[in-house]
Amino acid sequence: LEVLNIDCCPCAPAPLQLLKLGLFACAPIAPSLAVDLRGLELIRTLFVWITPNTTAWCEALEVFLTARGYKLSTKDNLRHRFSNAYHWYSVL
Confirm if 29 and 14 have CB atoms less than 8 A apart: yes
- pLDDT tens digits for 6-58? 888 888 899 999 999 999 999 888 888 899 999 999 999 999 999 889 899 98
Q: Is 38 exposed, middle or buried (0-12, 13-18, 19+ CB in 10 A)?
A: exposed
- SS3 state of residue 47: helix
* Of residues 24 and 77, more confidently modeled: 24
